[in-house]
């Protein structure tokens, strides 16, 4: 009996797998034929119409899942808002998981292609983004990454744009900010030397700090598996650093804060956008994060209407205050819509439904590199892009006070 | 048919493997050239072939030589990063020649790494050996995390811990940037090349296993003392299997690396080693056919399960457990064996008529 049941279940699993195979093949071919050979249709009234298939790729499971989910949720809010407006323009959103792995990310990208994706808001993390952007560049699919910040993401690829600051900007902007506001005389750096993001910011921070004459008294490293930071924090303390710069993600940062607290070391802590999310860690005593400063383009307590609206909707739908990544996702959807509207207004209307990814890619590239085009969002007003694909907007520094981010 | 009947069981099994690989190649190559394949599956063909090579090469160590190695991804990464350096320094040459040279150099360097690591590791046995291979896998990953390689008109520069230490001229380009890995890799791997490599590796492994050397390796696995008393040197034969396996993993790594435009050392961590070990164990230890099939199915499966969205990896795990239960069920195994025996008898009867 047991044997029969087992084989039944197994056959079931195989049938499902095969059904999946046939299915994806079918969508792939219809997607291709549907898109082939159609050209941009102008309706003549300068209006943007049709349905856009927008794909998001990011880590929805695994260690970096909080970023991917935040971006998807943020983008979902933007898409819901846009679709609720009516007016003939709709967005269909599909998110695919990449587990923060380049190989899986390329797979996710191909899945989206089989679905008939026209533009991609992604990918969320840096290393997968470099792999996917190379594929998208040869396939001519437009990509606007919400948060992949390395310069190599956009380098030499005219179809890839960033909504977040590039790493060099983050590192040097942090050093500049610390110097300008005289936050410290002796700086310690703790960074993850097994991580592209962290090492990238460290390198540019160090270069800028040396240029400005900021004294770096301690540089210590750790890797992904590190859970004990006594050496790193102790080194910073014994060298008398009064500010610790943490160009790292929030999970190790929370451990560093705990370690510093346990040895009674109270320097200023300064982070970058990876630190965003530290308040949402389960079981983390947020009082430890009091006074932590971070450079981020988004603060949820801003009082402008755009941010208020977004934070309110996000909190209502997902039950938490949106992080910078959610804001990036939200802005990505709106930036793409703004670009399409810009094109439609200039060229007497645009129906996106039958446009192929290649055609849409050329349209979006022409708009994003247009000197007259700028987009407004919750992560900055008047964002403009240069031909390298990097964004230009004002960074904001926020400090954690009473368990919330407050603008400085 | 007669030749086939006369052939030994071993070579019949070997030809079955070549057949499986060729069918796999012909089916998918036809699908690709007629455009009937989803881009999701098409994008996975090269990684599938690479994982198949990884699985059969690990099977040589785990199944034939009988040593549990948990650091196989380390050799893959040695090959991968070697291939990146070789292919970028051959920027002027054609894709085909760059690919072939990269694979060969990657295999040689990985073999050297395998030999060096084998010296201390193979002095151990059982669990201790497994743990030390795990450690070496991590050590390789961490060394690559600190490795910076640049290239300029004078040649290739190496440095540890700091890209500034490369001391390159103004036109120099950093190819491997520590934990940020390699970017701008030439994408020159092809499905055909990957399958040819897989076939070559199968030929090597299967001939090795059926040779005098192979029998010596298996004798040492089955009874070390008896084998030693026959005058076989365990260290020599184990080392041979370990080094050959490392070289093959390096070649797989080369093809894998040259299929993506970016590569980070973190990719080749403990999890990747375990993933390959899962292919070997699920396919049956010592069973090359099983390794090939398991690698193919298990690489594609997570992608096919995408429609379960959040429950994807849960379903994947359940499938793994079910396969494990079924393949280890003696009664079921017996049934399957008798089924194939009957089938074979019927076929041979038909053939004699």
How do residues A359-394 score in pLDDT, each as one tens digit?
A: 999 999 999 998 889 888 888 888 899 888 888 887
Q: Chain B partners of A130 at a C-beta cutoff of 8 Å?
A: 183, 261-262
Domain spans, chain B: 2-352
CA dist B212 and A71 (Å) reads 59
Q: What is the mean pLDDT of residues A312-339?
A: 92
**pLDDT at A9 (0 to 100):** 52
Over residues A196-233, the pLDDT tens digits come to 788 888 988 998 898 898 899 999 988 877 888 999 99
CA angle B57, B62, B67 (to 5 degrees): 130
Domain spans, chain A: 38-165+307-393, 168-296
**pLDDT at B7 (0 to 100):** 65
Q: Looking at the DSSP assignment, which residues form a beta bridge with residue A300? A: none
User: Per the CB < 8 Å rule, is B38 touching A25?
Assistant: yes
Q: For A14, name the nearest residue in chain B, comparing CA atoms only.
A: B319
Nearest to B262 among A27, A97, A131 (CB): A131
**pLDDT at A26 (0 to 100):** 34
User: Per the CB < 8 Å rule, is A131 touching B39?
Assistant: no
Per-residue confidence in pLDDT tens, chain B, 353 aa: 555 566 677 778 888 899 999 999 999 999 998 888 888 888 899 999 999 999 999 999 999 999 999 999 999 999 999 999 999 998 888 999 999 999 999 999 999 999 999 999 999 988 899 999 999 999 999 999 889 998 888 888 888 877 777 878 777 888 888 888 888 889 999 999 999 999 999 999 999 999 999 999 999 999 999 999 999 999 999 999 999 999 999 999 999 999 988 898 989 999 999 999 999 998 888 899 999 999 999 999 888 888 776 787 788 888 888 888 887 777 777 787 788 788 878 777 655 54
Quick check: do A38-165+307-393 and A168-296 share a fold? Answer: yes
Q: Chain B partners of A199 at a C-beta cutoff of 8 Å?
A: 178-180
A5: pLDDT strictly greater than 60 = no
**pLDDT at B296 (0 to 100):** 93
Q: For B48, name the nearest residue in chain A, comparing CA atoms only.
A: A103
**pLDDT at A406 (0 to 100):** 78
Q: Which residue has the tokens 């990310």?
A: A105
**pLDDT at B209 (0 to 100):** 93
**pLDDT at A4 (0 to 100):** 54
**pLDDT at A43 (0 to 100):** 52
CA dist A243 and A267 (Å) reads 5
Q: What is the mean pLDDT of residues A319-348?
A: 91
Higher pLDDT, A304 or B66: B66
Across A6-20, A41-55, A384-398, B106-120, the highest mean pLDDT is recorded for: B106-120
Q: What is the mean pLDDT of residues A58-78?
A: 90
Suggest the residue from A60, A73, A125, A134 to mutate for an interface test with chain B (most B CBs closer than 10 A).
A134
CA distance A33 to chain B (A): 11
User: Per the CB < 8 Å rule, is B310 touching A60?
Assistant: yes
Overall residue count recorded for chain B in this entry: 353
A39: pLDDT strictly greater than 90 = no
CA dist A3 and B161 (Å) reads 56
Torsion of CA A180, A181, A184, A185, to 10 degrees: 40
* Pairing outcome for strands A396-401 and A391-392: unpaired
In which element (H, E) is residue B242 found?
A: helix B234-257
A15: pLDDT strictly greater than 50 = no
CA distance B229 to chain A (A): 45
The helix/strand/coil state of A300 is: coil
CA distance B260 to chain A (A): 6
Q: What b/e readout covers B169-197, taking b as 16+ CB neighbours within 10 angstroms? A: eeeeebbbbbbbbbbbbbbbbbbebbbeb
For residue B84, with 0-12 CB atoms within 10 Å meaning exposed, 13-18 middle and 19 or more buried, which class applies?
A: buried
Torsion of CA B297, B302, B305, B307, to 10 degrees: -150
Q: Which of residues 193-232 of A touch B (CB under 8 A)?
A: 193-196, 198-200, 203, 223-224
CA distance B248 to chain A (A): 20
CA distance A260 to chain B (A): 26
CA distance B274 to chain A (A): 16
In which element (H, E) is residue A243 found?
A: strand A243-246
CA dist A395 and A298 (Å) reads 8
Among A28-32, A110-114, A256-260, B144-148, whose mean pLDDT is lowest? A28-32
User: Per the CB < 8 Å rule, is B180 touching A223?
Assistant: no
Nearest to A194 among B36, B145, B329 (CB): B145
Provide the 8-state DSSP code for A41.
B
At A231, list the tokens.
């050496």
Q: For A195, name the nearest residue in chain B, comparing CA atoms only.
A: B179
| CATH H superfamily, domain A38-165+307-393 | Response regulator (3.40.50.2300)
First vs last C-alpha separation in chain A: 69
Which CATH number applies to A168-296? 3.40.50.2300
Report the predicted TM-score, pTM, of the whole model to 2 decimal places: 0.82
CA dist B17 and B282 (Å) reads 17
Q: Is A152 on the interface with B (CB under 8 A)?
A: yes
Residue A334 pLDDT grade (very low, low, confident, very high; cuts 50, 70, 90): very high
């Amino acid at each position: 009996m047991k044997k029969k049941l087992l084989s039944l279940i197994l056959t079931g699993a195989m049938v499902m797998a095969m059904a999946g195979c046939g299915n994806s093949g079918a969508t792939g071919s219809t997607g291709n034929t549907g898109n082939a050979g159609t050209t941009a249709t102008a309706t003549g009234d300068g209006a943007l119409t049709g349905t856009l298939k927008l794909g998001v790729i990011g880590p929805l499971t695994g260690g970096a899942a909080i970023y991917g989910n935040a971006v998807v949720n943020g983008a979902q809010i933007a898409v819901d808002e846009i679709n609720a407006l009516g007016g003939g323009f709709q967005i269909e959103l599909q998110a695919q998981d990449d587990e923060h792995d380049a190989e899986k990310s390329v797979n996710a990208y191909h899945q989206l292609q089989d679905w008939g994706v026209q533009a991609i808001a992604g990918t969320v993390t840096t290393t997968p983004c470099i792999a996917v952007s190379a594929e998208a560049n040869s396939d001519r699919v437009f990509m606007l990454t919400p948060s992949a910040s390395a310069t190599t993401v956009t380098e030499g690829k005219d179809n890839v744009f960033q909504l977040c600051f590039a790493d060099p900007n983050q590192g040097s902007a942090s050093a500049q900010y610390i110097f300008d506001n005289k936050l410290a005389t002796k700086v310690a750096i703790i960074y993850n030397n097994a991580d592209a993001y962290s090492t990238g910011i460290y390198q540019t921070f160090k270069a800028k700090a040396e240029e400005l004459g900021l004294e770096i008294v301690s540089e210590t490293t750790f890797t992904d598996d590190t859970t004990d930071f006594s050496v790193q924090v102790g080194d910073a303390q014994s060298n008398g650093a009064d500010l610790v710069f943490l160009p790292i993600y929030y999970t190790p940062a929370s451990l560093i804060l705990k370690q510093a607290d346990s040895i009674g070391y109270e320097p200023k802590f300064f982070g970058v956008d990876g630190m965003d999310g530290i308040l949402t860690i389960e079981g983390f005593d947020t009082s430890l994060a009091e006074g932590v400063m971070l450079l981020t383009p988004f603060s949820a307590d801003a009082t402008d209407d755009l941010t208020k609206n977004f934070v309110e909707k996000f909190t209502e739908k997902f039950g938490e205050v949106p992080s910078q990544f959610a804001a990036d996702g939200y802005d990505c959807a709106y930036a793409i819509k703004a670009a399409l509207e810009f094109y439609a207004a200039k060229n007497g209307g645009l129906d996106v439904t039958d446009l192929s990814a290649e055609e849409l890619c050329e349209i979006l590239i022409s708009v994003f590199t247009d000197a007259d085009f700028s987009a407004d969002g919750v992560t900055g007003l008047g964002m403009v892009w240069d031909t390298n694909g990097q964004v230009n907007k004002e960074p904001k520094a926020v400090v954690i006070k009473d368990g919330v981010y407050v603008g400085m | 048919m007669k030749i086939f009947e006369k052939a030994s069981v071993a070579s019949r099994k070997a030809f079955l493997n070549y057949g499986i690989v060729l069918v796999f190649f012909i089916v998918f190559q036809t699908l690709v050239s007629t455009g009937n394949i989803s881009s999701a599956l098409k994008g996975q063909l090269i990684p599938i072939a690479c994982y198949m090579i990884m699985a059969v090469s690990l099977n040589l160590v785990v199944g034939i030589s009988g040593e549990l190695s948990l650091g196989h991804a380390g050799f893959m990464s040695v090959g991968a990063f070697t291939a990146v350096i070789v292919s970028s320094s051959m920027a002027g040459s054609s894709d085909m020649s760059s690919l072939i040279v990269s694979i060969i150099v990657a295999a040689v360097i990985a073999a050297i790494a395998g030999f060096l690591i084998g010296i201390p590791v193979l002095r151990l046995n059982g669990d201790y050996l497994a743990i030390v291979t795990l450690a070496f896998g991590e050590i390789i990953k961490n060394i690559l995390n600190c490795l910076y390689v640049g290239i300029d008109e004078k040649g290739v520069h190496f440095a540890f811990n700091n890209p500034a230490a490369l001391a390159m001229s103004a036109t120099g380009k950093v190819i491997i940037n520590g934990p940020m890995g390699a970017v701008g890799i030439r994408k020159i791997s092809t499905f055909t090349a990957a399958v040819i490599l897989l076939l070559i590796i199968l030929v090597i492994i299967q001939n090795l296993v059926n040779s005098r050397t192979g029998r010596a390796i298996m004798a040492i696995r089955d009874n070390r003392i008896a084998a030693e008393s026959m005058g076989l040197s365990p260290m020599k034969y184990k080392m041979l299997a370990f080094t050959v396996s490392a070289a093959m993993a390096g070649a797989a790594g080369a093809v894998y690396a040259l299929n993506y435009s970016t590569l980070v050392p973190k990719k080749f961590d403990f999890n990747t080693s375990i993933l390959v070990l899962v292919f070997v164990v699920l396919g049956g230890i010592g069973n090359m056919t099983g390794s090939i099939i398991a690698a193919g199915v298990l690489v594609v499966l997570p992608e096919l399960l995408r429609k379960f969205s959040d429950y994807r990896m849960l379903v994947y795990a359940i499938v793994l457990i079910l396969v494990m239960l079924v393949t280890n069920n003696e009664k079921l195994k017996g049934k399957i064996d008798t089924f194939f025996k009957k089938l074979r008898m019927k076929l041979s009867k038909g053939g004699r008529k």
